[in-house]
Structure 1
Amino acid sequence: MPTTREAILTALADLLSTVPYVPVLRGEVLPERIPPAGLMILRDGSPGEPGVSLSPLTYHYQHRAELEVIVQFGQDRDGRFDTVVAQIGAALGADRTLGGRCDWVEAEAPEPADLLVDGAATIKAAIVPIILHYATSDALGPPL
């Protein structure tokens, strides 16, 4: 049985995979070729320091996962990037609890940057922080 953290991150990756035409990888390195529609790479991030309540012992996390959003191809790279980010927001808005696995999911605004690539089209990329609010009875293992 996966830990609460792993179940939530897997559910987040599954939810992000519903964004049309844009593949999502989890914890992978940036591939040499970016798919035409763009690419998302989910990084597990950090659960941070939990709040703790006693009786029963519960750890309350605001886990900060990071989603790398990369778009390279096309004349309207900026428009495509904006579309992908909007689709991510719509996917998260459709299931704020990841099927009841966490208390709340929210994304922070991306800070896009244009990255130059030798011999290739410029890449537009950003990290979209995704905050996962959840509680668990064990900081290391079993689900709550």
Structure 2
Amino acid sequence: MPSKREQVIEAVGALVRGALPKATFYRNEVKQKTIPINGYVNVDDGDPGEPEVTLNPTTWIYEHEMPVEVAANATKTVKAEARLDAMLQAIGTAVAADRTLGGLCDYLQVGAASTEPLTAEGAPVSRLAVVAIVAVYGTTDPLN
């Protein structure tokens, strides 16, 4: 059975894939050179940070931050900014609908997006956003 950390990362990936079923999904990939027609999303494992520890029973409580990159190209009829905004809204809606990842974590939240252009000379106009999804969860063993 995967560790609690891995279960949470996989559940966040599944949540994002469900929110953006047409986008190409990656995990822990470097920034893509080309953006597929329906955009892409990359969920990074991130950093669980320093846990708080409670005793009796001993429990490590993490606020695990996972960066999620979302990218979109402009089309002939829709600007890259509008496509990216729709993708980000879909992720926000999915997080709001399942703040515990089906009971796997205590709370799931998403931060504000930071955006940047990705356009290279001669390429379609594109935008990239990075959002942090933070999962708060506890485990009785930090490695399992």
Normalised to the residue count of structure 1, the TM-score between the two structures is 0.91
Q: Distance in 1 between matches of 2:143 and 2:40?
A: 31
Q: What amino acid sits opposite 2:106 in the alignment?
A: D
Q: Is the 8 A contact 2:100 2:106 kept in 1?
A: yes
Q: Is the 8 A contact 1:37 1:73 kept in 2?
A: no
Q: Is the 8 A contact 1:26 1:43 kept in 2?
A: yes
Q: Which runs of 5+ in 1 are unaligned?
A: none
Q: Is the 8 A contact 1:49 1:61 kept in 2?
A: yes
Q: Is the 8 A contact 2:80 2:125 kept in 1?
A: no
Q: What amino acid sits opposite 1:45 in the alignment?
A: G
Q: Is the 8 A contact 1:108 1:130 kept in 2?
A: yes
RMSD, matched Cα:
1.3
Q: What amino acid sits opposite 1:3 in the alignment?
A: S
SS of alignment partner, residue 18 of structure 1:
helix
**Which residue does 2:45 correspond to in 1?**
44
Normalised to the residue count of structure 2, the TM-score between the two structures is 0.91
**Which residue does 2:83 correspond to in 1?**
80
2:13 is equivalent to residue 13 of structure 1: yes
Q: Distance in 1 between matches of 2:91 and 2:56?
A: 37
Give the fraction of aligned pairs with identical amino acids, expressed as a percent: 37
Q: Which runs of 5+ in 2 are unaligned?
A: none
Moved more, 5-14 or 74-83: 74-83
Count of aligned residue pairs for this structure pair: 141
Q: Is the 8 A contact 2:108 2:135 kept in 1?
A: yes
